[in-house]
Amino acid sequence: MSGVFRVDGDAYDDFMGRYSTRLAPLFADFAGVGSGALVLDVGAGTGALTAELLSRGASVAAADPSPEFAAVLRERFPDVEVQEARAESLPFGAGEFDLSLAQLVVGFVSDAPAAVAEMARVARRLAVCMWGIAEVDMFRAIDETAEAIGATRGGEPRRYRTPQTINELLAPHGEVESAALDVTAGYRDFEEFWQAMGRGVGPAGQWVASLDAEQRERAYEELSRRLGNPQGPFELKARAFAAAVTPA
């Protein structure tokens, strides 16, 4: 997985956790997770999905290539088996799980088809989801801001951000089920939003870190304008595209 997530758990939770924790129950519902299921959380991050799976009475193992995130997972979930491992090379046996799930992961792995093949190898059913781009208020506003101030975002992976590309990724393994999952995240004010972005998480956080002082000031003003110049609490919407398959 990309090095854009070599950050501490609190930074990730502040920036993306407020979305991923709301996405987790919708994704688990879509995948069909029930009590007693044996589930592998692939690219588990800081454990938003892991926590949801455990709350449903599932038996969970987690894998993530980031040493920082693996440490967070072990601290937060001491009874969960945590492997520091890439999605393309999962250290589990064939058919070991009922389900393998990857929430907000496949767009960032080096070889998504290989990762999905591994998920299919270790489980009898697999499901993935990724945020859209234009369908996520935050990402759309950042893209518009970058263009407006002439500081474009280069090199960011935009793979598997549409229903078609996600479905095509899973199609070699069987008949694909798909869904759009909508969540809303709230902020105390624009300052909280900006501070979360400034913690260097993911492509958006790294873009902010790449700006010089003048560009950062312009980005602050333009991004606030794109979000309606919020003076107090506000909410942003986000849509993830999900797909699942039960290999024959």
Q: For the chain, give every domain's residue range.
A: 3-245
- The predicted pLDDT at position 14 comes to 79
To the nearest whole number, what is the mean pLDDT of the chain?
92
Q: Does domain 3-245 have CATH number 3.40.50.2300?
A: no
Question: H/E element holding 234?
Answer: strand 234-245
**pLDDT digit string (tens) for 85-127?**
999 999 999 999 999 999 999 999 999 999 999 999 999 999 9
The residue behind tokens 């987690």 is: 62
CB half-sphere exposure, 126, CA atoms < 13 A: 29
Q: In 25-65, which ranges are E strands?
A: 38-42, 59-63
Which tokens go with 223? 């991004």
- DSSP lists the bridge partners of residue 60 as 39
Dist. CA 151–CA 167, nearest whole Å: 32
Dist. CA 119–CA 99, nearest whole Å: 8
**pLDDT digit string (tens) for 121-175?**
999 999 999 999 889 999 999 999 999 999 877 655 688 999 999 999 999 999 9
